């Protein structure tokens, strides 16, 4: 019996696989019934005009997969135990319908933007990837492949390759006065933020967050079941009085801070407030997540050392990233904290993804040890300082021309926070239509906080303008176009 109508096609891959697929289709559709004896391989090869070996290969594959059974001296049969009815019986059965999927914590589909679709790009924290020294880095990648210890390529060590950890540890002492005993290499800061929350937060626990704030951090906390408490801030950063008040109201377990360049307002948290906040956290048993995402880019003076550099009680989880020093796609971030906390975070990391990409870690370690990494940082800090000044100059020029802009030149970072003194609710959409990418104040509130500072009316007047990612000329032209959108 030759129940399938088979004709080999030259364009659809190996012929024995096509034949096997034709058999599978016939069995699944009920055309070829379970228990049916197939005709001999020789007869099939004649009927389908195929080489007998091709037919045998297809039959053996179907036996191996369980669609057919081979019985000695009897030939091939469709497996009896298959739960498939004949095609005539199938017609009586209801067709499968899409099942209702019940997700545990349904999230909206992530929106991704392609920054290259915009003529002018004021995205807040983007480095200028065109300036990345790919040739230098290629040498580091080649070296990583050439001198690899293959033992490192197994699952093994979760926390990161020792070469990269050692380079980062040395660098942190030199560049940030931060001495740390151990590190955990993560898939960017985002994974570290999630792991920190996962290690401490049980559903219903409270995390205090500076407001305005970094939405991806809040979303990660909230997905771990955290209830968010918004804390006010002013031109010196997080308001200590407000934090103290909320500590009385809620049993806060963690505090999320971006103390060096507050996201999105760019304010640097003063040393006095850092000490006050540290003391309050210690007294109330609160763990601090310090997200130091763009430390190097500070222009007016040396950046303040991280809060983690003075952490006698071991309550600071310090998180940083290579996303600004290299590019976000590198996915290299790291975290340091006291040994007990790091051990928990390692255990949670193992559950998610075992470890980071070893070759990238080794390449970055070679790039750092060659000195090229720090030379790259020096060049980019110089470049971004020029762009920082150019943006401030253009905005000042706009003020002189009578536009009611207000801004404070931040001490560092990669963006400026500008008060346009008009409602900018609709500016983002209109700017995007003109090929200008920027972010507006409304994006940085969180609607679901238990104590929410989100204003009822959407009377928002600030925009965040990244200055690092495009040339001065491009930035100038983009700002002029943007002003026409904001003040039509
Ligand atoms: C506040 C803040 N934290 C962290 C990051 C970096 O995230 P990642 O290391 O996951 O790329 C960014 C990037 O924009 C950021 O703005």
Lowest mean pLDDT among 114-128, 326-340, 466-480: 114-128
Does the C-beta of 356 come closer than 6 Å to ligand 1? no
Does the C-beta of 190 come closer than 6 Å to ligand 1? yes
Q: What is the mean pLDDT of residues 297-319?
A: 95
CB count in 10 Å sphere of residue 66 = 10
Look at residue 85 and tell me whether its pLDDT is greater than 80: no
CA–CA separation, 228 vs 211, rounded Å? 11
Measured in angstroms, how far is the CA atom of residue 401 from the centroid of ligand 1? Answer: 35
Q: What is the mean pLDDT of residues 231-240?
A: 95
Look at residue 186 and tell me whether its pLDDT is greater than 70: yes
Measured in angstroms, how far is the CA atom of residue 40 from the centroid of ligand 1? Answer: 64
| CA nearest ligand 1 atom 14, residue | 125
Does the C-beta of 188 come closer than 6 Å to ligand 1? yes
Model pLDDT, residue 455: 83
Q: Which residue has the tokens 């963690």?
A: 254
By DSSP bridging, strand 237-238 and strand 252-257 are unpaired
Band (pLDDT 50/70/90 cuts) for residue 2 is: low
Model pLDDT, residue 4: 82
Measured in angstroms, how far is the CA atom of residue 224 from the centroid of ligand 1? Answer: 19
Nearest CA among 425, 415, 421 for reference residue 467 = 415
Question: Ligand 1 pocket check: which of 194, 220, 293 to mutate, most ligand atoms within 8 Å of Cβ?
Answer: 293
Model pLDDT, residue 300: 82
Q: What is the mean pLDDT of residues 295-313?
A: 94
Q: What is the mean pLDDT of residues 366-376?
A: 97
Contact 209, 229 (CB under 8 A): yes
Q: What is the mean pLDDT of residues 252-264?
A: 97
Nearest CA among 339, 451, 362, 428 for reference residue 152 = 362
| CA nearest ligand 1 atom 7, residue | 189
Contact 293, 323 (CB under 8 A): yes
- Please, which residues bridge with residue 334 across strands? 185, 320
Measured in angstroms, how far is the CA atom of residue 388 from the centroid of ligand 1? Answer: 20
Q: What is the mean pLDDT of the chain?
A: 94
CB count in 10 Å sphere of residue 217 = 26
Whole-structure pTM over 0.75, yes or no?
yes
| CA nearest ligand 1 atom 5, residue | 293
Question: Ligand 1 pocket check: which of 192, 195, 263 to mutate, most ligand atoms within 8 Å of Cβ?
Answer: 263
Does the C-beta of 328 come closer than 6 Å to ligand 1? yes
* Interacting residues of 234 by C-beta distance below 8 A, sequence separation 6+: none
Question: Ligand 1 pocket check: which of 187, 188, 189 to mutate, most ligand atoms within 8 Å of Cβ?
Answer: 189
Band (pLDDT 50/70/90 cuts) for residue 223 is: very high
Residue that wins the pLDDT comparison between 142 and 4 = 142
Q: Does domain 132-371 have CATH number 3.30.420.10?
A: no
Band (pLDDT 50/70/90 cuts) for residue 384 is: very high
Model pLDDT, residue 393: 97
> What's 255's DSSP letter?
E
| Length of the chain as a residue count | 488
Burial (Cβ within 10 Å: 0-12, 13-18, ≥19) of residue 108: exposed
Lowest mean pLDDT among 124-128, 388-392, 407-411: 124-128
Digit-coded pLDDT (tens) for 283-299:
999 999 999 999 999 99
Q: Where are the beta strands (DSSP E) in 295-414?
A: 316-321, 333-336, 406-407
Digit-coded pLDDT (tens) for 268-288:
999 999 999 999 999 999 999
* Interacting residues of 332 by C-beta distance below 8 A, sequence separation 6+: 185, 188, 321, 322, 323, 326, 356, 360, 361, 364
Does the C-beta of 214 come closer than 6 Å to ligand 1? yes
Q: What is the mean pLDDT of residues 160-182?
A: 97
Residue 340 token pair: 């007990």
Digit-coded pLDDT (tens) for 67-83:
999 999 899 999 998 88
Look at residue 355 and tell me whether its pLDDT is greater than 90: yes
The domain segmentation of the chain, as residue ranges, is 15-91, 115-125+375-486, 132-371
Percent of the chain residues topping a pLDDT of 70: 97
Residue 16 token pair: 């024995």
Q: What is the mean pLDDT of residues 176-202?
A: 97
Residue that wins the pLDDT comparison between 320 and 302 = 320
Percent of the chain residues topping a pLDDT of 90: 85
CA–CA separation, 159 vs 183, rounded Å? 7
Model pLDDT, residue 91: 57
Digit-coded pLDDT (tens) for 423-450:
998 999 999 999 999 999 999 999 889 9
Contact 460, 423 (CB under 8 A): yes
Q: Spelled out in words, what is the top-level CATH class assigned to the domain 15-91?
A: mainly alpha
Model pLDDT, residue 194: 98
User: What would the CATH number be for the domain defined by 115-125+375-486?
Assistant: 3.90.1150.10
Task: Express the helix, strand and coil content of the chain in percent, nearest 5 each.
Answer: 45, 15, 40
Digit-coded pLDDT (tens) for 16-46:
999 999 999 999 888 898 899 999 999 999 9
CA–CA separation, 128 vs 470, rounded Å? 6
């Amino acid at each position: 019996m030759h129940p399938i109508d088979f004709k080999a096609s030259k364009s659809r891959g190996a012929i024995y696989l096509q034949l096997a697929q034709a058999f599978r289709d016939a069995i699944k559709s009920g055309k070829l019934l379970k228990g049916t004896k197939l005709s001999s391989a020789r007869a099939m090869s004649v009927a389908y005009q195929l080489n007998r070996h091709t037919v045998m290969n297809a039959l053996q594959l179907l036996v191996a997969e369980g669609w057919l059974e081979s019985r000695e001296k009897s030939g091939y049969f469709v497996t009896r135990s298959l739960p498939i009815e004949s095609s005539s019986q199938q017609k009586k059965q209801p067709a499968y319908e899409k099942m209702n999927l019940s997700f545990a914590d349904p999230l909206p589909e992530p929106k991704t933007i392609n920054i290259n679709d915009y003529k002018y790009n004021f995205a807040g924290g983007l480095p200028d990837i065109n300036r990345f020294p790919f040739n230098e880095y290629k040498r580091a990648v080649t070296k990583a492949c050439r001198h690899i210890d293959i033992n490192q390529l197994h699952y093994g060590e979760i926390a990161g390759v020792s070469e990269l950890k050692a380079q980062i540890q040395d660098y942190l002492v030199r560049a940030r006065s931060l001495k740390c005993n151990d590190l955990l290499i993560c898939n960017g800061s985002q994974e570290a933020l999630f792991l920190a929350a996962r290690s401490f937060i049980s559903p219903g626990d409270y995390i205090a967050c500076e407001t305005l704030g970094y939405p991806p951090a809040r979303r990660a906390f909230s997905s771990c079941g955290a209830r968010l408490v918004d804390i006010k801030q002013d031109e010196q950063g997080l308001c200590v009085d407000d934090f103290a008040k909320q500590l009385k109201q809620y049993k806060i377990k963690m505090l999320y801070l971006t103390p060096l360049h507050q996201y999105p307002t760019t304010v640097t948290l003063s040393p006095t407030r850092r000490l006050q906040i540290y003391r309050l956290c210690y007294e109330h048993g609160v763990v601090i997540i310090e997200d130091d995402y763009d430390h190097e880019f500070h222009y007016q003076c040396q950046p303040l050392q991280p809060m983690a550099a003075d952490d006698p009680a071991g309550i600071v989880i310090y998180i940083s990233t290579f996303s600004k020093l290299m590019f976000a796609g590198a996915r290299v971030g790291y975290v340091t904290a006291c040994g007990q906390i790091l051990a928990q975070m390692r255990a949670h990391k193992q559950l998610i993804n075992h470890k980071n990409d070893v070759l990238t870690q080794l390449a970055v370690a070679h790039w750092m040890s060659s000195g090229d990494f720090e030379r790259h940082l020096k060049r980019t800090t110089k470049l971004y300082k020029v762009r920082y000044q150019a943006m401030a100059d253009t905005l000042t020029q706009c003020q002189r021309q009578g536009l009611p802009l207000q801004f404070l030149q931040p001490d560092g970072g990669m963006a400026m926070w500008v008060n346009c003194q008009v409602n900018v609710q609709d500016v983002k959409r209109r700017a995007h239509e003109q090929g200008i990418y920027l972010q507006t104040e409304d994006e940085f509130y969180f609607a679901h906080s238990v104590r929410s500072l989100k204003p009822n009316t959407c009377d928002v007047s600030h925009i965040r303008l990244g200055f690092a990612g495009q040339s001065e000329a491009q930035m100038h032209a983009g700002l002029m176009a943007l002003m026409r959108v904001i003040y039509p």
